[in-house]
Structure 1
């Protein structure tokens, strides 16, 4: 286990009620709940948050967002059902009220996971996944790398649809929990391999898509599991556990699609797929070494600014964090232009940094700018990145009370909200009503 760091474990089980249910997701929670918090998180002490069959995507977002800002290691155990929305063909985690027709509004978009976890220190977040996919989602998963964004380690499996009128069992997650109930906590990769070994010996995991991505080493596999993994050698006394054996054949080819988490000046794609991009030349920033330099005392690995920024925020050095992000933003603007994903990524980072610094007005302005830039570049009003920017601007605006900033930004937000209504019912009406209230406030000279 890690030193004396306090960790967080988020247990999330979600599946639709009624005939649309593909997996009995909640059945895994009693098994996971029997594991001690320290073992669940792999730290000496831990906080555990359990979310069973949530009804609303905002409830899941709130819990995930709260977990994402915790400074210690975060482990998410996620069991559920994967479906695609019919309009954009993006994967969603189906929730209790989800139906195929309402998935866009009642499901939890998968790319929200990458959005919420993107500022965490690479390697500090691990997801264990046990997902059952409907037919469309199964085709989606088997056709591309499926992960949770930059810097997040992902282990688990996606199972194909069960036979008609049958309900699947979260066998992978139950096996992980059974191993952990003994009090034995191997590292994530070894735990994953042991769970797969037990399942394969029982013939359970045959044909599943296996997910294995180590955010620290940058090694990844995303391939159909068709045979039991070879046994792992026993680590030498006092030594670290050996890494899983290298993938071969098709698995190895898929692994090459996943870039290293360090040294990529890019952003996770909207579906959570990491896409390599040309590197932005490292700006000259005090405290941040060139990208190929050794890590310094601040923990910057390979010159990766995200690690430096996260550490600075956790230390309360919000000005330093924003200064570094601003330098990278300017470098991306010069190299790729204002509408590039490289530049927009850093604009979004700075918007989040303003929120962490307690400056909702600056954060709101930044998110409004990001949304306007994306729309101006021809992105659709219902594109996930556009919706996310407007939703975040709206959220920050509601924190401004009756201030002058609220009145100034309100008119811009309402106009944008009408163009981008988003997924939350009543968002446009809320913005319009709040703006009318602000405009009617009479200020008495003091």
Structure 2
């Protein structure tokens, strides 16, 4: 997929046309190298309360170990997929904290054979959560050496440039028809319905069921929506908000993302301490122990080193009930 070929057409669209507002800011990432960089830029954009349109073009690959789709970046290879590609559920997690109805994603994607096969039996594999409208097409990846251009996304750009303020559903239908000749086997992505969490319903069973079924993006997005509701109702220094941080930490563990899980467990432990819980409280010790365990599973040495100082500082305050845990952590960091 020649993703960069659509950038000139998108760049020619007035930013306000994309969002339907008087002014807008455009962030362009052409052939990004590092998934953490992409995540940081996405998180910054998602923090804006206004409308957001995310345009994606690229190739999807399946992490065979975890069965999770990843969007390939500039240096992604089959051997380095888990460390150099962007996990799709990261997108779902970041977009899931936004208010329903404020996020539209337009995606033109090529899928490797494993992803293409999974889409046949798991149509919600690319679900981005209840708050995002997803329009797109997914095509089988071309054979090596065969060119493929994001004709679907290019058609969106050309329609936007024409000045027509068409509904997204119309833009999707016209662009899909325009691009049909380039990939007749394409699967079209329908928008996910937006809805707010119901406060009189226990969401935990549904979240766990989604995670256990491999729908990690959906599980993360629903948990993030409940966390956002807890923040709105009870504030950031509340036990309710801290609970949902812990849920998201465990979902990251189930998704095979130890660095993300460690980061969230660290935040959960700090939250409990801020609320005044003692350092020998079983829940505090449990959060630190889980952060420590997930840290030990991080395969990327640089990511582990980046999280190490915060974990060491927390271990000094919360030594836990396993003798030598702090000393072992310091030795591993030094080595």
In the alignment, the residues of structure 2 paired with residue 172 and residue 337 of structure 1 have an alpha-carbon distance, to the nearest angstrom, of 34
1:391 aligns with 2:263: yes
Structure with more relative contact order (C-alpha pairs < 8 Å, separation 6 or more): 2
For residues 392-411 of structure 1, what are the structure 2 equivalents within 5 Å? 392-394=264-266
Q: Secondary structure at the match of 1:172?
A: helix
In the alignment, the residues of structure 2 paired with residue 58 and residue 174 of structure 1 have an alpha-carbon distance, to the nearest angstrom, of 27
In the alignment, the residues of structure 1 paired with residue 303 and residue 240 of structure 2 have an alpha-carbon distance, to the nearest angstrom, of 19
Match of 1:366 among 235, 243, 258: 243
Q: Secondary structure at the match of 1:193?
A: helix
Is the 1:371–1:386 contact (alpha carbons within 8 Å) kept by the matching residues of 2?
no
In the alignment, the residues of structure 2 paired with residue 337 and residue 179 of structure 1 have an alpha-carbon distance, to the nearest angstrom, of 39
In the alignment, the residues of structure 1 paired with residue 264 and residue 48 of structure 2 have an alpha-carbon distance, to the nearest angstrom, of 20
The corresponding residue for 2:289 is 415
In the alignment, the residues of structure 2 paired with residue 413 and residue 427 of structure 1 have an alpha-carbon distance, to the nearest angstrom, of 20
In the alignment, the residues of structure 2 paired with residue 413 and residue 402 of structure 1 have an alpha-carbon distance, to the nearest angstrom, of 14
The corresponding residue for 1:179 is 159
In the alignment, the residues of structure 2 paired with residue 36 and residue 435 of structure 1 have an alpha-carbon distance, to the nearest angstrom, of 45
The corresponding residue for 1:61 is 39
TM-score by length of structure 2 reads 0.73
Q: Secondary structure at the match of 1:129?
A: strand
For residues 76-155 of structure 1, what are the structure 2 equivalents within 5 Å? 76-146=54-124, 147-155=127-135
Q: Secondary structure at the match of 1:49?
A: coil
Structure 2: which 5+ residue stretches go unaligned?
212-218, 318-335
In the alignment, the residues of structure 2 paired with residue 143 and residue 337 of structure 1 have an alpha-carbon distance, to the nearest angstrom, of 20
Question: Which structure has greater helix proportion?
Answer: 2
For residues 265-284 of structure 1, what are the structure 2 equivalents within 5 Å? none
In the alignment, the residues of structure 1 paired with residue 223 and residue 157 of structure 2 have an alpha-carbon distance, to the nearest angstrom, of 40
Q: CA deviation at 1:102?
A: 1.4
In the alignment, the residues of structure 1 paired with residue 158 and residue 139 of structure 2 have an alpha-carbon distance, to the nearest angstrom, of 20
In the alignment, the residues of structure 1 paired with residue 221 and residue 57 of structure 2 have an alpha-carbon distance, to the nearest angstrom, of 29
Deviations 1:281-306 (A, max 9, x none): xxxxxxxxxxxxxxxxxxxxxxx447
Structure 1: which 5+ residue stretches go unaligned?
1-22, 216-260, 263-303, 307-326, 442-446
Q: CA deviation at 1:157?
A: 0.8
In the alignment, the residues of structure 2 paired with residue 399 and residue 354 of structure 1 have an alpha-carbon distance, to the nearest angstrom, of 14
Q: Which of the pair has more CA radius of gyration?
A: 1
Say which is worse superposed, 29-38 or 362-371, in terms of deviation.
Answer: 362-371
Is the 1:172–1:195 contact (alpha carbons within 8 Å) kept by the matching residues of 2?
yes
| Count, aligned residues | 303
Distance 1:423 1:410, change over 3 A: farther
In the alignment, the residues of structure 1 paired with residue 208 and residue 67 of structure 2 have an alpha-carbon distance, to the nearest angstrom, of 24
Q: CA deviation at 1:34?
A: 0.6
TM-score by length of structure 1 reads 0.57
Distance 1:361 1:139, change over 3 A: same
Is the 1:76–1:128 contact (alpha carbons within 8 Å) kept by the matching residues of 2?
yes
In the alignment, the residues of structure 1 paired with residue 159 and residue 246 of structure 2 have an alpha-carbon distance, to the nearest angstrom, of 48
What is the Cα-based RMSD across aligned positions, in Å? 4.0
Is the 1:35–1:181 contact (alpha carbons within 8 Å) kept by the matching residues of 2?
yes
Distance 1:347 1:64, change over 3 A: closer
Q: CA deviation at 1:345?
A: 8.2
Is the 1:41–1:74 contact (alpha carbons within 8 Å) kept by the matching residues of 2?
yes
For residues 282-301 of structure 1, what are the structure 2 equivalents within 5 Å? none
Q: Secondary structure at the match of 1:50?
A: coil
In the alignment, the residues of structure 2 paired with residue 99 and residue 406 of structure 1 have an alpha-carbon distance, to the nearest angstrom, of 46
